[in-house]
Structure 1
Amino acid sequence: MHLNSVSFYFWHIRDKLVKILKLIIIESYNEFQVFLCSYYKNSAKVIMENGDQFRINWNKFFRNGKTVILPIDHGTAIPVKGLESPSELIESVNPYVNGFVVNFGLARSCSDSLEGKGICFRTDIYKPPYEGNDDHGSYRVFTAEDGLSVGANAVMNMCYTHHPKEETIYRECAGLVSECIDSELPIILESLPFGIGRSDDYTVENISFAVKCAAEIGADVVKTAYPTGASIEEFREIIDSSYVPVIVLGGSAMRDDNALFSMVKNAMDAGASGIAIGRNVWQHDRPAAVARSLSSIVHEDSSVSSAIKLMNDPL
């Protein structure tokens, strides 16, 4: 074969091969684009669905950004009076609260009464102080998955600061945060300067650190105490420094409606997103009435005097 003919044949074949390769590459690229579009569309759908489930759980507790939660989880921590008939209590205050904090046992035994309300599952238990017990405190014993098994819409765990075993507590809380992300459950960290009920420790500085610490660990909501003797402005500074909602606990029963309502009103005026008050409700002579008045302060911005007056109205 003549050299020119061979050369022509070679270049002809080369052009054909280049065209074929271009078609293959273009087709593959188009198919790859289709794959990418499909992948990201499905991923976005999953993210959207996950977000929707989180919002569904969130909205079980929050109405217009505010919440009234009744903790009835004290049975593993302290001797309690007022929780002898939890189902009756739940049903009596049901119209006035958004959700309940419960332990595993109550979540199962009172499931019918809890239906339709936000269920916040307690993942830790409190080991009380006694002679020879140097490691009293709160320790996580349940998982987010355990919460899902009893229909929980959120979980709650203690997050003590100023505690001898801070590192263990922080690791437990961080692990729970990871579980809640996977389970699409909001997590409320109850963050306090150790230990429980020591009002002298509830300084503005200590509470401010506790709130910030819980938010940094990954809490969706922080539950804490109103700082002892703090002004509205001082508590507002704490709330403003937190980029997650802050709700206020009640602590020991005050036996004083005016003091309780004033504390809650101050907290709400400072920017709190609600309350999680237990003993001041279910150890009250009229749990439903006090729950209604607290709800009026949180959700309707009622004054203290209006809340006290409401106590006298029929339920």
Structure 2
Amino acid sequence: MNAGKRTRLDRIGTDGRYVVVPMDHGITMGAVTGLKDIESTIDAVTRGGADAVLTQRGIAGRVHPNKNDAGYIAHLNGSTSIGPDEDDKRRTGTVEDAIRAGADAVSFHINVGSEYEREQIAGLAELTGEAERYGLPVLAMTYARGPEIDPEAAEFNQAVGHAVRLGEELGADVVKTAYTGDAETFQHVVESTSLPVVIAGGSRGTDQETLQMVRGAMDAGAAGVSMGRSIFQHEDPEKITRAVANVVHDDSEAADALRDAGLAVEA
């Protein structure tokens, strides 16, 4: 790994652990709660301890004045929830575009097992090649999604493990994927790659559920989170970010993290 890439990885994480808050959902879902006044949300989550925030490059100008020296990741593909197929992610920019937008890293989403897998594999491989020339890290969002993949099946973690390994094989530096439900099954996912693995948040649950999921992932050997709606749509994004950061960076238990952040602990 060259010095530039190593330096930029340090900008989006802390000691090899990551609390990233993706807010690229505006392209997918529109200006939903938490994203209309994205400036305030970015200020809140970075004050709460987020290592980095992630958006599409077009709103980088709204990010930088409010990120409190946190890192910035530019996401480079997308789709919409009102289009014909949300799994069909298309390229939205280049590595040079991301650099001009002030990004410390880039990210790219692929759906392993979907009918778009071939094109997305080629897209990620192309992106990592471009990024390597500039010493820019790549966060690969590698999801197991497709007609033959059942998230409720006992072997789902095998598919997720395959997805993260694919990210490494294609040259990514950090991989993000779905949590498989418990530390035991997620351990296989972490062991499937030598790269840092961070988990997605998915649909928002209770604070307790969110923190227990993060705790389980860390117990399995994960390197952190890349968690969007569970954080930016929270009533207090700063506090929930602080709670998540307590688990990731301070190795806190879920209840202690919630309590220390000033959030209620469920009985």
TM-score, length-normalised on structure 1? 0.77
Is contact 2:176–2:226 with CA below 8 Å preserved after alignment? Answer: yes
Segments of structure 1 that go 5 or more residues without pairing to the other structure are 1-49
For residue 2 of structure 2, give the secondary structure of its aligned residue in structure 1: helix
Identity of aligned residues (%): 28
Contact conserved, 1:71 with 1:100, CA < 8 A, in 2? yes
- Match of residue 84 from structure 1: 36
Query: Between Structure 1 and Structure 2, how many residues are aligned?
Result: 258
What's the secondary structure of 2:198's corresponding residue?
strand
Establish whether residue 281 from structure 1 lines up as the match of residue 231 from structure 2. Answer: yes
Deviation at 1:271, TM superposition (A): 0.5
Q: Which sits farther off after the overlay, 61-70 or 287-296? A: 61-70
Residue-by-residue CA offset, 1:260-291 (whole Å, 9 max, x unaligned)? 10000000011001101111011111111110
Partner residue, 1:217: 170
Contact 1:128 1:136 in 2 (8 A): no
Q: Counterparts of 1:68 and 1:135 in 2: how far apart (Å)?
A: 25
Distance in 2 separating the partners of 1:141 and 1:312: 39
Is residue 64 of structure 2 the alignment partner of residue 111 of structure 1? yes
Question: 2:103 matched to which residue of 1?
Answer: 152
Does structure 2 conserve the Cα–Cα contact (< 8 Å) formed by 1:127 and 1:139? no
Deviation at 1:129, TM superposition (A): 5.5
Which residue number in structure 2 is paired with residue 175 of structure 1?
126
| 230, 248, 251: which one aligns with 1:298 | 248
Q: Which amino acid is the alignment partner of residue 62 of structure 1?
A: G
Other-structure match for 1:307: 257
Structure 2 letter corresponding to 1:288: E
Deviations 1:26-80 (A, max 9, x none): xxxxxxxxxxxxxxxxxxxxxxxx8221122110012121110111110011142
> CA contact under 8 A between 2:27 and 2:78: conserved in structure 1?
yes
Structure with greater contact order relative to length (CA < 8 Å, sep ≥ 6)? 2
Does the CA contact (< 8 Å) of 1:147 and 1:155 recur in 2? yes
In 1, Cα distance between equivalents of 2:129 and 2:186: 29
Q: Which has the larger radius of gyration?
A: 1
Question: In structure 1, what is the Cα distance between the partners aligned to 2:258 and 2:96?
Answer: 41
Distance between the aligned counterparts of 1:135 and 1:269, measured in 2?
Answer: 32
Q: Which has the higher helix share?
A: 1
Question: Residues of 1 paired with 2:86 and 2:225: CA distance?
Answer: 29
Aligned counterparts, 1:1-315, within 5 A: 51-79=2-30, 80-95=32-47, 96-114=49-67, 116-128=69-81, 130=83, 133=84, 136-194=87-145, 199-200=151-152, 203-227=156-180, 229=181, 231-254=182-205, 256-312=206-262
**1:109 offset after TM fit, Å?**
2.7
8 A contact 2:87–2:114 mirrored in 1: no
Mark the runs of 5 or more structure 2 residues left unpaired by the alignment: none
Deviation at 1:297, TM superposition (A): 0.3
